[in-house]
Structure 1
Amino acid sequence: MHGRLNIPLEESWTFQADLKNEGLKLKWHEHGPSMGENIQIPHTWNVQKGLQEFRGTGWYSRTFFAPPEWEGRLLRLQFDAVYRDAVVWINGQKVGEHADSGYTAFVLDISSAIIFGENNRIVVSANNENSQTALPVGNSFDWADDGGIIRGVSLIVSGRAAIDYAKIQAVPVFNEEGDRRCSPYGLLSGEIHLWESGEAANSTSLRLVVTAASEDGAQISEQWEILSNKGILRFKDIKVDSPKLWHFDHPHLYKVDLALYSGDILSDEVSIEVGFREIRSEGSTLLLNREPVRLMGVEWMPGSHPDRGMAETSSQLEEMLRHIKEANCVITRFHWQQDRKLLEWCDRNGLLVQEEIPHWQTPHDPDDEWLQTSMQHAQEMIHRHYNHPCIYAWGLGNEVNGQSAVTVRYFEQLKTLVRELDDTRFMNYVSNTVHENPSQDATGVGDVIMWNDYIGTWHGDLDRPAVIRTITEAHKDKPVIVAEYGLCEPAYEGGDERRKQILTDNTTEYRKHPGIAALIYFSLNDYRTQMGEAGEGMLRQRVHGSMTLDGTPKPSYEALRQLASPIRVAVNLENGAGKVAVTIETSDDIPSYRTSGYTLRLIDPHGDFYEQEIPELEPGERCVLHFMDIPQTRWDDIRLHVERPTGFSVTSGSLTSYVGYFTDNLVP
């Protein structure tokens, strides 16, 4: 029994910048960089002193020992991302390259270059010069172009018959009569793509064993065995009774184990986490597991840590993701493809994600020549990230020339091609021009209308309510998501006070329009960008956020947290009786969704607390929770805290600060 070994290769690398572009002449690809410094992966040189502005080639090298017993097995090298154009050598032999996409994972077969029983040298060159053939194009994009091995590297050792990637569908089946929210059972189906080696593709003795398990580890299905003589193995409709559904407040996950046998020998194995959830639309209404929802979100621009840049560690990424959830935001989007570890966090903690091909403003009128590059991005993104329940949509592009017929035709073609990769999710194009003529804009190609609204700044002084009515009337059959709104300093003055006002005023207006299904505020953070107006070198940035570059919240962050809260709280204190009554009311505009599993705590300075579970509430419903025998002398020192079932705070403050009516909580 062999199976799979997955060995992280993040330590003991050396790095050298190729300032004179002479690495190949000096044969660094055979022996490694000549004077390399010791570094760890992930790594980017653009946060190092003297290299902040360097756009060129960097060289990386390390060795690993290949024991004799690995001979005859399949050895693959996986890079989670190299920005941007990479070439890889093993022991001086070129084993592969990856170009035009700096944020997607790629895997190389290195078996033929390995010397068993000895140390083997990996050498990687990474080039981040501007490119006219890559996405993003040139230097048009508004985020950092940090060069290097910016995400993890691992060595995969398996049998010659091996799994490349798997696409697992976890589909809840709902009652069409009675309680439509109830899913009496779910169905697991899968498409397992084998690594394209001769043995895997042509063998007639491959056997796949599929085992599904619940969160507590209990087996929930019998093992399935599939025989195939093709390069794709499929299984269908494994029944799971009464599945716990994935929801941003209840992110239940199931583990699917895939074991691939060649004859009676275990050749490869993979474990995948999936979630049973359905997200679709009816007219302009967004439905999550058959529940109508209106959601509040925020966009975060990764790669902005002052010391790490695009090579942020997992803990640094998770810290910013926690800020999103603590701001009561449950939906986001990313302009470019993200790390699988980041998406795994979103799976476990409940954050809906649109992940995008990095078309940003250019090419202005994309034509058919760009379809091949776009499809490379789509394939690498979807093949590796298909199984994440947090991903509700794939983004095809952002702020190209949306009013152009050429652009419309291009995204129609791209959507058709991408739909062949995944027909289970929304496909969207994000527009900053739909307000000009909603009926002809390219965002209409998408399953959801996505609008970047900068009326009052970039888009001039238009009548926002009238514009919204025009958009929603033109697209009655689709939900509208405001994909960006905020203050883009330093192009516009006003500081965080104006940012807070725009956030509050716009959100208040959007709430009045039922065709708007979700809001994504821009942005969570000030962010590093190669085209920023503030700061220099590795600190070049745009001051667009409600947090500073180092993660310090501004006043507008608390405004976002209050506006995005799904509940409002009012407290009544009965003097002399030690009675505290807490009224909870759920929001019924934006956000609007059922709340269940929420907890209310009153905590005194000694750490003692009084706790009650808030009953399940539909949007607009109220409940009153009573606490007895709480001395009046302690009221000023008690903190009120409401927590989601995922553990994230909804609202927190002194008990007496909540005394009053709900209008005190409607806006910051």
Structure 2
Amino acid sequence: MIIMKIIYLKYILTIMCVFSTLLSFARENVSLCGEWSFALEKDFPDKTDWLVTADFGKKVSVPHTWNVEDGIERVFGKAWYARKFNVPLTWNKKQVRVHFDAAYRDAVIYINGKKIGEHIGSGYTEFSFDISSYLNFGSENLICVSVDNRFSEYAFPYKEKFDWPNDGGIIRPVELIVTERPSIRYARVRSEINFEKKSASIQIEIKNWETGLSKVEYHYRIKEWKSGKEVLNEIRKVKIENEVCKVMFDLNDIKLWHFDDPNLYMLEVEAINKGKVTDTYSTRFGFRKVEVIGNQLFLNKELVRLPGIEYMPGSYPEFGMAEPLHVMEKAVDLMKELNCVITRCHWQYDKRYFDLLDEKGILAQEEIPWWQAPGNLSPEMEKLAKSQISEMIERDFNHPSIISWGVSNEVFNNTDKDVYRRLVKYAKDFQSDRLITVVSNLIFERLENDESLIGDIPTWNDYIGTWHGKNREETPEKLDIINKRALKGRPLLITEHGLCEPRFVGADPRRTTEMTYHYDQWAKHDYIIGAIYFSLNDYRTHVGEAGYGRYKSRVHGLTSMWFDKKPSFNIYKGLASPVYVENLQIKASGKEADLTLKVKNDLPSYILRNYVLEWQTVEGTKQLTLPELKPGDKFDVKIDGLSPKSCPKVKILRPTGFIVTEY
């Protein structure tokens, strides 16, 4: 009996050891953020040994841009970064990649004096290189990076034709990624949702860094991101075709992602070779469906009309484009405070920003920075545009917040429409289940020839009364002609509107007047599926008419560059609120009141679920979870426990805790 117990114990321990091996975390992420040496090349004209030393210039902390530093804010040229790092002997025969979230703009990377790669013309997309064969194991190593932000004809953004800061540097985090082989380059999740059964069929597509593989064994796990509840745990050996492998799973009892209920899932994939985990890759995703039917927008099979706003990163003067996470968090919280549930991005923003949109619940359109120029693309520039689309989609494929990829914005000069068609098709070929857009500001002139009609949603940057037209009263006429001669039964997304100071005078009072007038016009037309105000914040830009140095900017926001709220902030919050207090009648005792809530049915318009009514009582606060309320619904309720000595204080909160409105 004792012998049997010993044998059984050995068996259990063996199984545990094998399972422990499969569960081991095979990927190391080693941050290279922090102290680096930095120098502008122009300050050391005779220096020739950039590649062999980290002893030059001054010490800075990466992420970093020099264009917010005193005296060099307008220096556009080449700079050098360098730092030393130790590589342990245990990394020998492993794969070591150096990974940059972004370096603006033309970056060349050197390891121990040898060039290992470059990333040219694209300053906001991530890139990495295998540096395994360049390292000295068991000793100190040197990485040097040259970064050049001179205006360029081979770049997006193009030359000086963009309206945000030209901040050069290693502007986002950099790290080493250490794995065994095979190692995972990406894992993409596609899903088909059965809304009636609350289930989904998902396809997981994996691509490895290594080529020529025929079969790889993977361990797939999926968990609910918040609760940690496991919904999938399976090991499969899969065939690789055309350097990717695809596998299908069925999941039940799924929770949908919605801007009011942003449920996320975590996918963890382990690559296994001869029983050993060689790499571990993780990514978040969500289940949601966005589609255009006729002239309307649907989210998870429900009709929606959505208010939004755009944030302009890089505008906090102390940080510029190297802004830390807490600045992004503040921006996203302000957007939610404004009741905004959709946004757009003029370029490929920091991936941590999209993580926040996923978590907080904001839909997004992400774009490559082809803004106004060049009017037409050479074959070389079209190739660069496709490269930026590819890098953007590879990085951000799984973000449920992103519902659209944009290929251009306000391009002038009669662009060849076939260029747009090729870029739209290229983006669609990734089968990412996203809409593709071409953003226009002249659809009211180009009408049926407008480039935005090539995309899935026609768009309009509406600046009637400022950049276009004589005054805002022309807006109804413009909308009518757009609808009849351009849209012809299709929807319209307002992708920008705002007041640009000091180009246009009137300050925040005029901003409020223009905003409310245009918003009222948009709300009248059900083919307008949403409106994205521009912008949340006053923003830094190299073409700004206000301020100097790092403060050179355009005064365009509902807040300052430091997020100080202007009066227009609360006005827009009210416009974007999906519900309001229609009536409040206090009883004679002063201790009770009859309250009527009204759900808007224009812009915005969407179903409210699990919203909370909160009111102040003499003993504290009371809350009531509201029933499901559809656009146009009214809800009557009696609130009690009030103080006869003060006015009732009422709040409505989203399920995520953000305050919708206060009375």
TM-score, L = length of structure 2: 0.93
Name the residue aligned to 1:662.
none
- TM-superposed CA distance for 1:35, in Å, is 2.8
Which of 455, 468, 471 aligns to 2:482? It is: 471
Which of 184, 202, 220 aligns to 1:188? It is: 202
- TM-superposed CA distance for 1:20, in Å, is 4.2
The alpha-carbon distance between structure 1 residues 312 and 476, as it changes in their structure 2 partners (threshold 3 A), is: same
Name the residue aligned to 1:603.
616
RMSD value, Cα: 1.7
Cα deviations by residue, 1:175-205 (Å, 9 ceiling, x for unpaired): 3xxxxxxx5211221211110xxxx323445
2:426 is equivalent to residue 417 of structure 1:
yes
Name the residue aligned to 2:84.
63
Letter in 2 for 1:565: S
Residue pair 1:447, 1:478 contacting (<8 A) in 2 also: no
Cα deviations by residue, 1:305-360 (Å, 9 ceiling, x for unpaired): 01001011000111011111100000000110011111101001101110101011
- Give distance in 2, aligned partners of 1:14 and 1:643: 48
Name the residue aligned to 1:10.
33
Residue pair 2:213, 2:243 contacting (<8 A) in 1 also: no
2:553 is equivalent to residue 553 of structure 1:
no
Per the alignment, in what secondary structure is the counterpart of residue 67 of structure 2? helix
Name the residue aligned to 1:179.
none
Which of 583, 586, 592 aligns to 1:579? It is: 592
The alpha-carbon distance between structure 1 residues 265 and 205, as it changes in their structure 2 partners (threshold 3 A), is: farther
Mapping for residues 249-268 of structure 1, pairs under 5 Å: 249-268=260-279
Mapping for residues 77-88 of structure 1, pairs under 5 Å: 77-88=98-109
- Give distance in 1, aligned partners of 2:123 and 2:353: 16
- Give distance in 2, aligned partners of 1:286 and 1:487: 27
Residue pair 2:397, 2:432 contacting (<8 A) in 1 also: no
- Give distance in 1, aligned partners of 2:234 and 2:633: 45
2:138 is equivalent to residue 117 of structure 1:
yes
- Give distance in 2, aligned partners of 1:222 and 1:125: 44
2:249 is equivalent to residue 238 of structure 1:
yes
- Give distance in 2, aligned partners of 1:475 and 1:42: 44
Residue pair 1:144, 1:529 contacting (<8 A) in 2 also: yes
2:641 is equivalent to residue 618 of structure 1:
no
- Give distance in 2, aligned partners of 1:207 and 1:9: 31
Per the alignment, in what secondary structure is the counterpart of residue 211 of structure 2? helix
Name the residue aligned to 1:631.
643
2:236 is equivalent to residue 220 of structure 1:
no
Which of 591, 598, 605 aligns to 1:592? It is: 605
- TM-superposed CA distance for 1:13, in Å, is 1.6
Residue pair 1:17, 1:59 contacting (<8 A) in 2 also: yes
Structure 1 residue ranges without an equivalent (≥5):
176-182, 653-657, 659-668
2:330 is equivalent to residue 319 of structure 1:
yes
The alpha-carbon distance between structure 1 residues 563 and 157, as it changes in their structure 2 partners (threshold 3 A), is: same
- Give distance in 2, aligned partners of 1:92 and 1:231: 35
Residue pair 1:490, 1:543 contacting (<8 A) in 2 also: yes
Name the residue aligned to 1:330.
341
- Give distance in 2, aligned partners of 1:168 and 1:492: 46
Letter in 2 for 1:251: P
2:173 is equivalent to residue 161 of structure 1:
no
Name the residue aligned to 2:18.
none
- Give distance in 2, aligned partners of 1:315 and 1:574: 46
Residue pair 1:201, 1:229 contacting (<8 A) in 2 also: no
2:512 is equivalent to residue 500 of structure 1:
yes
- Give distance in 2, aligned partners of 1:326 and 1:553: 12
Per the alignment, in what secondary structure is the counterpart of residue 168 of structure 1? strand
Which of 447, 457, 467 aligns to 1:448? It is: 457
2:58 is equivalent to residue 37 of structure 1:
yes
- TM-superposed CA distance for 1:577, in Å, is 5.3
Cα deviations by residue, 1:425-478 (Å, 9 ceiling, x for unpaired): 111011011110310110010000110111111111373212212222332443
Name the residue aligned to 2:575.
563
2:493 is equivalent to residue 481 of structure 1:
yes
Per the alignment, in what secondary structure is the counterpart of residue 30 of structure 1? coil
Letter in 1 for 2:587: E
Letter in 2 for 1:318: E
- Give distance in 1, aligned partners of 2:187 and 2:52: 35
- Give distance in 2, aligned partners of 1:261 and 1:316: 39
- TM-superposed CA distance for 1:575, in Å, is 2.4
Name the residue aligned to 1:428.
437
Residue pair 1:601, 1:642 contacting (<8 A) in 2 also: yes
- Give distance in 2, aligned partners of 1:52 and 1:315: 23
The alpha-carbon distance between structure 1 residues 222 and 117, as it changes in their structure 2 partners (threshold 3 A), is: closer
Letter in 2 for 1:527: Y
- TM-superposed CA distance for 1:276, in Å, is 0.2
- Give distance in 1, aligned partners of 2:44 and 2:272: 47
Of the structure 1 ranges 155-164 and 214-223, higher mean CA displacement relative to structure 2 is found in 214-223
Name the residue aligned to 1:180.
none
Residue pair 2:297, 2:529 contacting (<8 A) in 1 also: yes
- TM-superposed CA distance for 1:37, in Å, is 2.1
2:291 is equivalent to residue 291 of structure 1:
no
- Give distance in 1, aligned partners of 2:381 and 2:213: 37
- Give distance in 1, aligned partners of 2:394 and 2:252: 28
- Give distance in 1, aligned partners of 2:436 and 2:214: 37
Residue pair 2:618, 2:643 contacting (<8 A) in 1 also: no
- Give distance in 2, aligned partners of 1:74 and 1:369: 32
- Give distance in 2, aligned partners of 1:205 and 1:192: 12
Aligned residues: percent identity?
37
